[in-house]
Chain A
Amino acid sequence: MTDLTRLTAAELAEKIHSREVTSAQVTRAHLDRIAQVDGRVHAFLHVDTEGALAAAEAVDAELDKGAAPASPLAGVPLALKDVFVTKDVPTTCGSKMLEGWLPPYDSTVAARLRAAGVVILGKTNMDEFAMGSSTENSAYGPTRNPWDPDRIPGGSGGGSSASLAAFEAPLAIGTDTGGSIRQPGAVTGTVGAKPTYGGVSRYGLIAFSSSLDQGGPCARTVLDAALLHEAIAGHDPADATSIEAPVPRVVEAARAGAKGDLSGTRVGVVREFAGEGYQSGVSAAFDAAVEQLRALGAEVVEVSCPHFQYALAAYYLIAPSEASSNLARFDAMRYGLRTGDDGGASAEQVMAATREAGFGPEVKRRIMLGTFALSSGYYDAYYGQAQKVRTLIARDFAAAYEQVDVLVSPTTPTTAFKIGERVDDPMAMYLADLCTIPANLAGTAALSVPCGLSPDDGLPVGLQIMAPALADERMYRVGAAYESATEPLINRVPELGGEQ
């Protein structure tokens, strides 16, 4: 029998809906795979075996009655980043602060997945409160990259992307504040999309930087990502920043793109995203991808976005500022960790003791940085100035999209680095998000698709395709076209040690 864990979500859905296999069989195959390999990958913080099988059996029961599938992905399993609140299923956000917490409600994303008949296998590992680029900041230990267990799987959504590359799940959900879907996608040879800001509801997404956070799909193919995108996207009255506009037709775009014809499409290469700091193998893979786009008929031009070089600095003022405010809610009173409550200590002392014990180093660094950037006397020079730079970055995008349909760059300047390599050097860690941050600051859409292995170290490289706000379909069309012309990278993931 076919190994069900090797199929795409679209293939699995087809087999489940035609009753060739049951959702329970598919779900069991993935749970078995998790049991077999996750000790080496550590993609999951919690595996919900019982909940997943019950959800799968419910889908099967409906289909057996002859009902139409609840959605195109009904019955397909998925791994959910632990930043999304799930009713009665542990949600930690990678932090000791929320260890053992059972949320009393579902995030909109989780509720939409359940309504679509998608089977949630469990919750994936992440950098604490989504702050990081390597998943090493998780309070529960790092996730390992299936391509090389000594290397990082990216972050903050390293668990989600690693679960795809390890064939533990065909679909996953991530969140992208500065690149946390796209960078893990790039370094694990998988696909990840950051929808237009406001495209996917943030209700029940534990807030890091509210003006930047955006949930989105992770998958092994562009079509699968598009199917998942449509399952979770759309206006939500519970999120005041959710956009009241039709969901971009990304599935149709992915199917059209897969025909491999990009004639008439104008592609802009961002001049600022090259040169010093870029690994030569990454540049080589990227240049080859651009040539491939040209071969598919795209018209390729170079575009300058002069303020992108300040995006990283602006981001590391804006995101920590918002985080310092958002994380004030962890006050040890209504839910989450409480320490030092000995009967004599005051509320303030308990709060301080709890936050000292509950937050890891990166979270503390960002709270201090953000508090400083917002403090009177420094506000104008730091936070205020960063907001102005944000305006200039959005203007750079607007000017570029007058000339081209999509922009492209490498997703990350380097391939996956070694676990431990950048842990003590925060600035080096931050550089991993150099190319992904501008799209967050401007609220526009961006996708990372695998673009081969770096010739210098044999590790996956990501091609970033960016599109204007609410034109997400463009990046899916170009991404699917590129994918159709290349060998699927994912088939080259080495078997995880100790098997066969």
Chain B
Amino acid sequence: MTDEELDTFAGQLDQILSSVASVGEVAAADVPPTSHAVPLTNVFREDAPREGLSQQQALSGAPAAEQGRFRVPRILGEEQ
């Protein structure tokens, strides 16, 4: 984020947060939370083998690829 964005967002997020804080007005101490409208647990499907993506397809959108693999920037620091 740029400094300019930070300045704009800080005010806007403050306004949004103070508005959505109204959920706190509701007395809901003994109400169970809903994370999902349809209560489903342990959904299974047939374990049917099917073709996956080929290596070429999987790499087709890669920002950078090398030797049939995703090429990524370094993940370790200088001193590691």
Contacts and interface: CB of A to CB of B under 8 A. Distances in A.
Interface of A: 101-105, 197-198, 211, 237, 240-241, 243, 307, 310, 312-314, 316-317, 332-338, 341, 345-347, 349-350, 356, 361, 364-365, 368-369, 372, 381-382, 384-392, 394, 426-427, 430, 441-444, 469
A314 B75 contact: no
Given A313-B22, A346-B75, A372-B17, A384 B33 contact: yes
Contacts of B74: 346-347
B53 A385 contact: no
B61 A313 contact: no
Interface in B1-53: 1-2, 5, 8-9, 12-13, 15-17, 19-26, 28, 31-38, 40, 43, 45-46, 53
Given A346-B77, A365-B12, A365-B13, 9 more contacts: A240-B45, A310-B23, A335-B62, A381-B21, A382-B20, A389-B23, A391-B28, A441-B34, A444-B37
A365 B61 contact: no
A54 B38 CA distance: 39
Contacts of A364: 1, 5, 9
Contacts of B24: 381, 385
B23 A385 contact: yes
Contact of B32 (A197, A241, A382, A391): A391
B8 to A, nearest CB: 8
Contacts of A350: 73
A381 B57 CA distance: 44
A331 to B, nearest CB: 9
A241 B45 contact: no
Interface of B: 1-2, 5, 8-9, 12-13, 15-17, 19-26, 28, 31-38, 40, 43, 45-46, 53, 57-58, 60-64, 70, 72-75, 77
A118 to B, nearest CB: 24
Contacts, number: 144
B28 A392 contact: yes
Contact of A310 (B8, B16, B22, B38): B22
Contacts of B21: 313, 381-382
B38 A385 contact: no
Contacts of B45: 237, 240
* 7 tightest A-B CB contacts, nearest first: A443-B37, A335-B61, A387-B33, A338-B63, A388-B28, A237-B45, A104-B57
B17 A369 contact: yes
B27 to A, nearest CB: 10
Contact of B34 (A240, A316, A387): A387
8 contacts: A241-B36, A241-B43, A361-B9, A385-B23, A385-B24, A387-B33, A389-B26, A392-B26
Contacts of A388: 26, 28, 31-34
A388 B32 CA distance: 6
A430 B25 CA distance: 20
Contacts of A442: 37
A243 B34 CA distance: 18
A482 to B, nearest CB: 27
Given A336-B63, A389-B28, A369 B35 contact: no
